[in-house]
Structure 1
Amino acid sequence: MAVDIRLATARKRVPLPADVGKHLVSPGDTITTDTGFMRGHGTYMEDEKLIASVAGAVERVNKLICVKPLQTRYNGEVGDVVVGRITEVQQKRWKVETNSRLDSVLLLSSVNLPGGELLGQGTVVQVSPSLVKRRKTHFHNLPCGAAIILGNNGYIWIYPIMEQKDDEAGGFVTNLEPVPLSDREVISRLRNCIIALNVHKMLLYDTSVLYCYEASLHQQIKDILKPEIMEEIVMETRQRLIDQEG
């Protein structure tokens, strides 16, 4: 029987950009003493000070200051890309679990399957919604041979890239063929890399996921989730992102 033995090692320190960590606060931290700002979610006033009531990142919109919690349920906004799981099929609607406080409702009259349905092969990864970076697009075909949908609600769908075929069905084809081993390995590696980024509280977007994937290529897929290897891969990813930003 094989047993993994992990020895204590000194952690390596990676230089961070000057602005990283500047806007992170804990409950009770003073955000500002300027009385000209308005109090938003996650804050309260005390002794003419704006104080954080939750742990998270400070966000400012004009004169409004709020704190976005690092661990929270998803609150939907107009224009969000959401990945959901159907939990109940009713006569005229579906109930969808979207990692929010309440289940979402999808009317069957709003569903358009032909030509717009994704292939069923793939896997869902759940991460903190606050770590999904808001971008112009959340649908990405990665050069490693798989595609991801980064849901603003913290659900990420990973699936193989399939060839588009024109046929009489208008492009809608139910693919029930087994996924090749090579594609399953890519999907599994991406999944473990996303979990590693989530554990280390790094923003999730196409570039960070791809860099983490490339940093993990010299490791076995199952080893990515080992704490010391996970930390090494994430540190390499973080350093590469810092170098890219200049």
Structure 2
Amino acid sequence: MGGVRTFPFHMSEEEQRRFAKAQERLDRLGGALPVVNVGETIQADEEAAFLRGHGTQLVDGKLVATVCGIVERVNKLISVRPLRARYNPGTGDVVVGRITEVVAPKRWKVDVNSKQDAQLMLSAVNLPGGLQRRRTADDELNMRNFFEERDLISAEVQAVHQDGSIHLHTRSLKYGKLEKGQLTQVAPYLVKRLNHHFYQLKQFGLEIIFACNGYIWISGPSEIPDKKGASSELLVNVSNVNEMHQCTGNKESTVPTEKREKICRCANALRVLNALGLLIYPESIIDTYEASLMWGTDIKDMLSGEFHVKVLEREVSKRSKSV
């Protein structure tokens, strides 16, 4: 099955024909993602022991799906993650969220695209200057100097309790307030699990946070000096993004037009991958971004039906060659 259901754009009859043909070929090659419908059999090695996870059930000795979703395999555990479900947090996940409320005593509520707002305690944030001390009544009164309503932040899931409550922390130097960039929302199940979720696309001069909850943050390059000299790599992990936040947090500076265009082009590449149900990770974004430049596609035209069809046909061609 393909990941495409409905489209927020118009396609001509010719584009619809090409799209259907490309989608059919992609399905024969294995689909955009391993999607199963309710009642479909999930391939499992019956000779080797396996563990039945969420969204699966044994029927007549066969493992079948009880929900429509993505098949996930972790060692011997086989489960199905629902397509339409909200983000299901896990301890250690990197997330991007928006402050919805400053609540006494000593906490913020954060929208992380889950069933309920997460909580960020005052004790779980870094104090200015990195001071290590107990939080006082003055800190509680000045909570809006840290974060206020509508602020975007990056954080890590500290704990998920049995009642479903989610607790975040920003004590690491790589987390904090996000400014001078663009937030793009995609389906959480399309975000590939990565060893590092903070990436710098040096080729385009962009930095991206691949949050597990489907909120992708794109910003311009930080002004961090390259201690190792010039690098030929297309992307590297941002190891000290605290400096990045400090640079982007300079409210006296403005984002140049050229940088804004790069951010918008990258955001549209994300929207195309999301609409087509293709996995989102650094290389897939780079490939879509470069394709738009190679075809001479304007930023606004990346959201047209023609561009979506061409990206899908390109994906089919790549997979055909790898088979």
**CA shift for structure 1 position 145:** 1.4
Partner of 1:225: 303
1:126 corresponds in structure 2 to: 185
Indicate which of 249, 269, 273 corresponds to 1:193: 269
Structure 2 length-normalised TM: 0.65
Q: Which has the higher helix share?
A: 2
Distance 2:125 2:319 in 1: 39
Q: CA deviation at 1:25?
A: 1.2
Quick check: 1:68 aligned with 2:84? no
| Identical positions, percent | 45
Match of 2:122 among 100, 104, 108: 108
What is the TM-score normalised by the length of structure 1?
Answer: 0.83
SS of aligned partner of 1:220: coil
Q: Where does structure 1 lack aligned partners over 5 or more consecutive residues?
A: none
**Counterpart contact for 1:211–1:240, Cα < 8 Å:** no
Aligned alpha-carbon RMSD (Å) = 3.0
Within 2, Cα distance between the matches of 1:76 and 1:240? Answer: 33
Kept in 1, the 8 Å contact 2:184–2:216? The answer is yes
Which amino acid letter does the alignment assign opposite residue 112 of structure 2?
A: T
Deviates more, 1:31-40 or 1:225-234: 31-40
Aligned to 1:53: 66
The answer for the alignment partner of 1:88 in structure 2 is 101
Once the two structures are superposed, residues 50-100 of structure 1 have per-residue CA deviations (whole angstroms, 9 ceiling, x without a partner) of 221112222234443211223321111222111111111123011111111
- State how far apart, in whole Å, the 1-side matches of 2:54 and 2:92 are: 21
Pick aligned residue for 1:138 from 179, 197, 201: 197
1:205 aligns with: 281
Describe the superposition over 1:105-160 as per-residue Cα deviations: whole angstroms up to 9, x where unpaired: 11112112657445510111111111000111111111211111010111100111
The answer for the alignment partner of 2:220 in structure 1 is 160
Q: Which runs of 5+ in 2 are unaligned?
A: 1-9, 130-172, 226-241
30, 42, 58: which one pairs with 1:31? 42
Picking from 27, 30, 34, the partner of 1:20 is: 30
What secondary structure sits across from 1:156 in the alignment? strand
Mean Cα deviation higher: 42-51 or 102-111: 42-51
Instruction: Call closer, same or farther: CA 1:238–1:103 in 2, change over 3 Å.
Output: farther
